[in-house]
Chain A
């Protein structure tokens, strides 16, 4: 299991590196869309797999709860810590220790002690940008899973307090 998890970590990081640093180096928006589309397909298929043993969902909240509990447990070995909703089609899923961000560092000083202040700022920006790109894949996972369950939606991520991460799900009507 640990080996499989390391493989997933490495594949996700390499995907981000290839799309951002290689294929779409000059077009970050296109790289983001492509990474999200890959996540969408994976989520679409995984939700079919994980719903095999359970009854079908009768409303949106049940499907969201499935994502927070079973889907998240299968992928990240823990449940979502907090679920909020405004009862008008928006849900906020908060994971206080998002597994795929626990090894991401935003402190450039530990890697480049001799950098000047300007260089540090640049490194910080690059690190933040990379982390943002990393989150497009889980956003696609959630959107793909919910779309397969009949809930078209858009998903965005907020990573203000690493390693905590919030996913905002807006259901389309």
Chain B
């Protein structure tokens, strides 16, 4: 099965994007990164409302744009993991988010990391892409 491009972003409590990655393989006919960013950023408004209606961390698919779907995972500290994808296994997406959450916590507990700042660790980036290949 040909995998479609996915886009992952992590947004901190104060609406600052701290990590972005385009994962998966897709023919690069044009640069769609900004297009994907707009979709995910627009979905933040939906997340803002949905987060109050449940205490589950996984909000599943919160928004849709043509054939692209936005899935979101919200932590207790209101950090949001957002994934733009086509239709996929929900279990895989949930596992992906949980593993990324674990990676994020390892970064977060680093005393030299400023909470809310951009994650620049190449090791983190490598791991996230590996998890994307594994679960998505």
Contact = CB atoms under 8 A, between A and B. Distances in A.
Nearest to A150: B78
Contacts of B102: 52
B94 to A, nearest CB: 14
A149 B115 contact: no
A55 B105 contact: no
Interface stretch (B3-11, B34-42, B69-77, B127-135): B69-77
Interface residues of B, number: 17
A56 B56 contact: yes
Contact of A54 (B51, B74, B76): B76
A138 B79 CA distance: 25
30 contacts: A41-B111, A44-B115, A45-B108, A45-B115, A46-B109, A47-B76, A47-B77, A48-B76, A48-B105, A48-B108, A48-B109, A49-B105, A51-B77, A52-B75, A52-B101, A54-B76, A55-B55, A55-B56, A56-B51, A56-B56, A56-B57, A56-B74, A56-B75, A56-B76, A57-B55, A57-B76, A58-B55, A148-B77, A149-B77, A150-B78
